[in-house]
Homo-oligomer: A and B are copies of this chain.
Amino acid sequence: MSLLTVGTVAFDSIETPYGKAEKVIGGACTYISWAASYYTDDIRLTSIVGHDFPAEEIKTLEARGVNMEGLKIVKDGLTFFWAGRYHENMNQRDTLTTDLNVLDDFDPELPDSYKDSKYIMLGNLTPDIQIRVMEQLTDPQFVALDTMNFWMDIAMDRLKEAISKVDLLTINDEEARQLSGEYSLVNAAQKIFEMGPKYLVIKKGEHGALLMSKDEMFFAPALPLALVKDPTGAGDTFAGGLMGHIAQTGDTSFDNLKRAVIHGSAMASFCVEEFSLDKLKTLDKDQIAERIKRFTQMMSVDL
């Protein structure tokens, strides 16, 4: 079923202890859409780029069944650019440059053909834009929103308004604490459910992901890897796999959300193995199935 993906499409320059990548393709919406494209072929991308964005990247996504009608190309503008350097432990990074460029004036107007989208993945962006997208939807079945501490620092009220409208919120553990004012993730989750969402995924990077509803809890480990080359986009790729699976199955039961979290984790485990989208672009169904199997093995116990 239809999956609307919203977020940045960007250039990234990345330094990690394992190498450098200069002005490669990045952006939340790019990672989300690539990951989801392995699950469903009715993806509707919503973003903005400048004249400098390569036409072939757009074609490649189109060839994977991603509708690019919602990608606004600003002829006299430049694509959003982010540069960052990861520390030795890969869990921390310094932002070196953030050039908003065309993103500064992004006012997402959905094409008519997008408005009936059933499944929605709102990647990290200003809460204003996230709300603006939701206002244009005619029949959303399940809306997921990703955000970050930056918006909690500067636009908490508007962010809470956005959060109040969604079914699933994905944030990391520190953000869950900041948003709720509670240190314990169990208590943080209960506060967040009072804000509106029915489900919460707490992303813990190399430590896995915790899916919670008011009454249920599920933990998906991250796959330990011999080499993590570049963590950029892992959270977005996770979201893409998760919502891709949900859109593919049309099932938003807690049991299926559990499966979706494993699919998200599997896709994220591919993402970090190479810089940028290098690995994500090369996958096939067998590789994904094999990786899902490794997750199953890692989690299965007969008590």
A96 part of interface (Cβ distance < 8 Å): no
Given A207-B208, A224-B184, A228-B184, also A303-B298 (CB < 8 A): no
A225 part of interface (Cβ distance < 8 Å): yes
- The quantity of this chain's copies bound in the complex is 2
A93 part of interface (Cβ distance < 8 Å): no
Spell out A's residues near B (CB within 8 Å). Answer: 88-89, 183-187, 204, 207-208, 210, 216-221, 224-228, 255, 258-259, 262, 292, 295-299, 301-303
- Complex Cα gap A2–B258 (Å): 40
- Complex Cα gap A258–B221 (Å): 15
Residue in contact with A296 in the complex, picked from B221, B295, B303, CB distance below 8 Å = B303
A222 — nearest CB in chain B belongs to which residue? B219
A221 CB contacts on chain B under 8 angstroms: 208, 210, 219, 221
- Complex Cα gap A184–B296 (Å): 21
A295 CB contacts on chain B under 8 angstroms: 303
A184-B225, A217-B297, A262-B303 are known; give 6 further A-B pairs, CB within 8 A: A185-B224, A210-B224, A218-B298, A219-B221, A255-B301, A295-B303
Contact B217 A259 (CB under 8 A): no
Residue in contact with A303 in the complex, picked from B216, B218, B224, B292, CB distance below 8 Å = B292
A104 CB, nearest partner CB in chain B, Å:
36
A227 CB contacts on chain B under 8 angstroms: 184
